[in-house]
Amino acid sequence: MERLSSRQAFDEYVAREQARWESLWNGDQWVVSVGISECSIAKGAEETYRHLSLILAQEGIPHVLRRVGCAGWCFAEPYVEVRVPGAPPIVYAQITTERVPELVHALRQGNLKPEWALGVRGEQGFDGIPPLHAHPFLAKQRRLLFADAGVIDPESISDYIARGGYQALRKALFEMTPEEVVAEVKAANLRGRGGAGFPAGIKWESGRRTQAWPKYVVVNSHEGEFNVYKDRRLLESNPHLVLEGLIIGCYALETPYGYNYIGGEHALALKRFQHAVEEAYALGLLGDNILGTGFSCHVRVRTGGGAYICGEGSALMYAIMGYRGQPRTKPPRSVEEGLWKRPTVLNNTETFANVPGIIRNGGKWYASIGPENSPGTKLVTMQGPLVRLGVAEIEMGLSLRELIFDVYGGMREGYRFKGIQMGGVSSGPLREDELDVGVDFDSLDKAGVMLGSGGFVVFDDRICAVDFARFLVAFSRYESCAKCNPCRLGNPALLEILDRIRYGEGRPEDIDLIKETSKHIIELSLCGLGQVAPMPALGMLRAFPEEFEAHIREKRCPAGVCPIGEPAELAAASAD
């Protein structure tokens, strides 16, 4: 790969790669793509890939075998997409290694195996197989960030460029000033996708305003919140989309220093993003004097060591600097004094992934998607005993009920919906009668819950609200950095109250005690972790008060989960 050093060289490269891409899909060979990502590897995708490689060679079938990323349909993994000459690409679901021979032989004989097909990749169906976008999982999605997930090889910068990648960077570098870039992001009203929902454009503007150098732009890919894996999948399926957003961010802040802080446990996401950075350097889209513009950009990847609190902005910066990740009070805000005490703009992976689209199509285009105050699309991950599981990308504002029962298929056979936990550990649940609310920042805030980073957990009636509340508060209690008293002492106290209730030693005044303790923790904690840690307890109390009453007054756990009636080794339980 030669280093591109001018706009013209870049344009010529784009043309060459587009031609290559065209000929790939229009030639006489089979094009076989296997989705390889953390989720599919766990289900045997690597074995499927190896078996395909063997069989295609053995049968002498002219082919190109590709590795692509996760397309979000985890329920269909391991998945294989096959394009045989004369037909459009078709995605096949649950192709474990055992099924490979049958699939290959069937396709060879002109049998498109409709019973195994998830759908046709294209506008229309083919030969009786419906198009992918008609599948109930995909019908209500709007895939902007995930448009190329599962289509391109995430370890190929040339695939990304063939599909229009780095056109936004080109536009920013050659046709826009840094101020204009910030203006577009502001016009888009892109709100932070890490959970806080703070307008990114305003943050970038504040970063520009501070007169101190160097400045830093940091991608928050820590993703320590459980049941949220959208950032991982983005980095595994289309790392260049995030990288392009980061480079544009560096251009907007007029700094050459970009960072991506990735959770240490996200092994594949790390590997693929590192690879993307190396490819970008090799091609000349990172480094000094990019495409001859005089703008330089260098990206460093740093990894987390397993501390949820390091997803918090100020803690993250301490973590990068090699300290224990403990948040600090603000002011000064990080845009004034952040990493190494310099102005730092920190945004979530998904936020940066939205930037190239905004630059290409304009802020106004983006702002027109979804509700006015919460525009754009959102990657969501929903789990629990549902028919379909995976990552979905929806337009902000889609009804939660539709998301659960249409996109994710509703409850599995034998499970009865009880509630849906919202916002990870930062919020409370919604009951079945409260699901007619739009999935966006403001509608959910009004409903008393939180969008957060888009992780939802559906639970059925075998789950006890008190026990679940205890589990969620325990998460925050253990992830507390221990710096401030309200959080360090308040959360274990709250946990003790919940444990007493679980063991049948609840008292009538405990309900008020929970509310009062929670109020103190929320109002007095230094950072976001403490400020939301008690929310699951308050939320469960609000949504399922009868269950708490049953535990306290009748010494009974309706779901049959809590150790009520067992000898109360409370001190041990709460210390565990």
- Given candidates 63, 232, 378, 551, which one binds another protein under the rule CB under 8 A? 232
Long-range contacts, stretch 521-524, CB < 8 angstroms, 24+ apart? 521/486, 521/487, 521/490, 521/491, 521/494, 524/484, 524/485, 524/486, 524/490
Nearer to another protein, 31 or 540 (CB): 540
List Cβ neighbours of 160 (8 Å cut-off, separation of 6 or more): 148, 152, 166, 238, 240, 241
226 scored as a contact of another protein (CB under 8 A) = yes
Nearer to another protein, 118 or 437 (CB): 118
How many whole angstroms separate alpha carbon 357 and alpha carbon 476? 35
Q: Which two tokens stand for residue 96?
A: 């474990």
Nearer to another protein, 307 or 403 (CB): 307
Per-position DSSP letters for 317-382, written without gaps between them? HHHHTTS-------SSPTTTS-GGGS-EEEEEHHHHHHHHHHHHH-HHHHHTSSSTTS-SEEEEEE
Q: Which of residues 467-526 bind another protein (CB under 8 A)?
A: 468, 471-472, 475, 478-479
Number of shown-chain residues binding another protein (CB under 8 A): 66
How many whole angstroms separate alpha carbon 195 and alpha carbon 340? 24
265 scored as a contact of another protein (CB under 8 A) = yes
Query: Omega before 558 cis (within 30°)?
Result: no
Instruction: For the CB of residue 426, give the shortest distance to another protein in the complex, in Å.
Output: 12
Nearest-CA neighbor of 5 among 251, 255, 247, 288? 288
306 scored as a contact of another protein (CB under 8 A) = yes
39 scored as a contact of another protein (CB under 8 A) = yes
Tokens 């980061």 sit at which residue?
246
Instruction: For the CB of residue 306, give the shortest distance to another protein in the complex, in Å.
Output: 3
Q: Which of residues 380-419 bind another protein (CB under 8 A)?
A: 381, 383-390, 412
| Interaction pattern, residues 52-91, with another protein; x per rule: CB under 8 A | ----------------------xxxxx-------------
Parallel/antiparallel/unpaired status of strands 298-303 and 257-262:
parallel
| Interaction pattern, residues 91-120, with another protein; x per rule: CB under 8 A | --xx-x------------------------
Per-position DSSP letters for 410-426, written without gaps between them? -BPTT--EEEEE-STTS
- Given candidates 150, 256, 325, 397, which one binds another protein under the rule CB under 8 A? 325
344 scored as a contact of another protein (CB under 8 A) = no
Nearer to another protein, 94 or 361 (CB): 94
Give the amino acid at 190.
Answer: L
H-helix or E-strand spanning residue 528: helix 528-532
How many whole angstroms separate alpha carbon 285 and alpha carbon 389? 36
| CB-CB contact of 54 with 22 (8 Å) | no
Q: What are phi and psi of 169, to 5 degrees?
A: -65, -40
Nearer to another protein, 209 or 300 (CB): 300
Instruction: For the CB of residue 410, give the shortest distance to another protein in the complex, in Å.
Output: 12
332 scored as a contact of another protein (CB under 8 A) = no
| Interaction pattern, residues 520-539, with another protein; x per rule: CB under 8 A | --------------------
Q: Is 284 left (phi over 0), alpha (psi -120 to 50) or beta?
A: left
- Given candidates 82, 277, 319, 404, which one binds another protein under the rule CB under 8 A? 319
- Given candidates 303, 314, 351, 354, which one binds another protein under the rule CB under 8 A? 303
Nearer to another protein, 343 or 385 (CB): 385
Alpha helices in 210-309 (DSSP H): 230-237, 239-253, 267-283
How many whole angstroms separate alpha carbon 449 and alpha carbon 444? 5
| Residue 182: other Cβ atoms inside 10 A | 23
| Interaction pattern, residues 423-462, with another protein; x per rule: CB under 8 A | -xx-------------------------------xxxx--
Nearer to another protein, 198 or 323 (CB): 323
Nearer to another protein, 307 or 335 (CB): 307
Per-position DSSP letters for 197-214, written without gaps between them? --BHHHHHHHHHHS--SS
- Given candidates 140, 171, 298, 324, which one binds another protein under the rule CB under 8 A? 324
Instruction: For the CB of residue 386, give the shortest distance to another protein in the complex, in Å.
Output: 8
- Name the site residues for another protein (rule: CB under 8 A): 38-39, 42-44, 74-78, 93-94, 96, 224-229, 232-233, 263-266, 300, 302-308, 319-325, 340, 381, 383-390, 412, 421, 424-425, 457-460, 463, 468, 471-472, 475, 478-479, 576
